């Protein structure tokens, strides 16, 4: 504490140029060192105070920044919720607009349909009124017929009942006629189909008959050709047989004549034509030799 109280006294300031002189005493140097230490302590205290002040300011600023950050986060959250609510409202409005457009289209289509039905009803009413105007005269006529009393009808309903009965009978007759016509068409179709089938069958039979006729004609021609060939064979065989008989007769005749004129002993009843012709050949050879010898005489 004494060290800190001593610098509080007004110490004389000694210029630094005087400290290097030989006459500067150690006490003066000590005072100078203490003064430097005092100034350093004051500077340190001032720096600490400034640092403390800056730290307080920084903490206050930090707190302010934190509060600002929290406020910004809250503002961001509120803005996000606002955007989400606006998106939800916009989507809801879009859905509502789409639904209203659909409902409007449905209502417009329903209006168009109802207008068409109204027009159809008006047209039907006009048609019914026109039909009623046409029927009124028939009603008057039926009433006059009933009032005349000559037809046996007591009321108009009797005439209508009779008309309904006759109309039902006419309808039944028409149905029967249609059924008969349908049956007739069916029978006509069956008849046509049967006639067509029979005509096709007859055509097939005619074709088959024509083919059989052609086959019979071909067979007859082949049989005639075979018969002609057989006849030609028989005639050729007969001619060959005749020629053979003539040859055999000629050979036998020549053999007999050779036997009559030849002096060579041979069998009188030689049956083999080849042997007979061979004997005739030998006789002719002998005769030729004799003639040549006679011509060549003395």
Considering only residues 296 and 124, tell me which one the structure prediction assigns the higher pLDDT: 124
Average per-residue pLDDT for the chain: 82
106-115, 221-230, 252-261: the lowest-pLDDT one: 252-261
pTM for the structure as a whole: 0.27
Considering only residues 181 and 12, tell me which one the structure prediction assigns the higher pLDDT: 181
Give 13-32 pLDDT, tens digit per residue.
545 544 444 456 888 888 88
Considering only residues 108 and 272, tell me which one the structure prediction assigns the higher pLDDT: 108
Give 153-201 pLDDT, tens digit per residue.
777 787 778 778 888 999 999 999 999 989 998 898 999 999 989 899 8
Nearest to 120 by CA among 73, 112, 78, 37: 112
1: confidence class by pLDDT, cuts 50, 70, 90: very low
């Amino acid at each position: 504490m004494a060290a800190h109280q001593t610098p509080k006294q007004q110490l004389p300031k000694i210029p630094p140029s005087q400290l290097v002189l030989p006459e500067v005493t150690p006490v003066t140097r000590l005072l100078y060192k203490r003064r430097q230490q005092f100034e350093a302590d004051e500077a340190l205290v001032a720096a600490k105070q400034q640092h403390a002040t800056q730290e307080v300011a920084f903490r206050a600023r930090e707190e302010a920044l934190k509060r600002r950050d929290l406020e910004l986060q809250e503002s961001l959250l509120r803005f996000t919720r606002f955007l989400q609510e606006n998106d939800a409202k916009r989507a809801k409005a879009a859905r509502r607009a789409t639904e209203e457009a659909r409902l409007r289209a449905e209502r417009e289509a329903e209006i168009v349909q109802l207008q068409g039905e109204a027009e159809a009803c008006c047209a039907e009413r006009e048609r019914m009124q026109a039909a009623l105007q046409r029927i009124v005269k028939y009603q008057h006529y039926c009433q006059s017929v009933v009032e005349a009393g000559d037809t046996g009808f007591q009321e108009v309903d009797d005439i209508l009942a009779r008309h309904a009965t006759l109309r039902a009978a006419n309808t039944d007759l028409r149905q029967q006629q249609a059924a008969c016509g349908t049956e007739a068409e069916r029978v006509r179709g069956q008849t046509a189909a049967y006639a067509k089938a029979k005509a096709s069958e007859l055509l097939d039979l005619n074709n088959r008959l024509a083919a059989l006729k052609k086959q019979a004609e071909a067979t007859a021609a082949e049989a005639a050709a075979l018969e002609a060939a057989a006849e030609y064979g028989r005639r050729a065989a007969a001619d060959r047989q005749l020629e053979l008989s003539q040859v055999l007769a000629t050979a036998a005749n020549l053999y007999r004549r050779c036997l009559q004129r030849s002096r060579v002993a041979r069998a009188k009843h030689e049956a083999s034509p080849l042997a007979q012709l061979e004997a005739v050949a030998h006789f002719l050879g002998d005769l030729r030799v004799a003639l040549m010898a006679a011509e060549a005489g003395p």
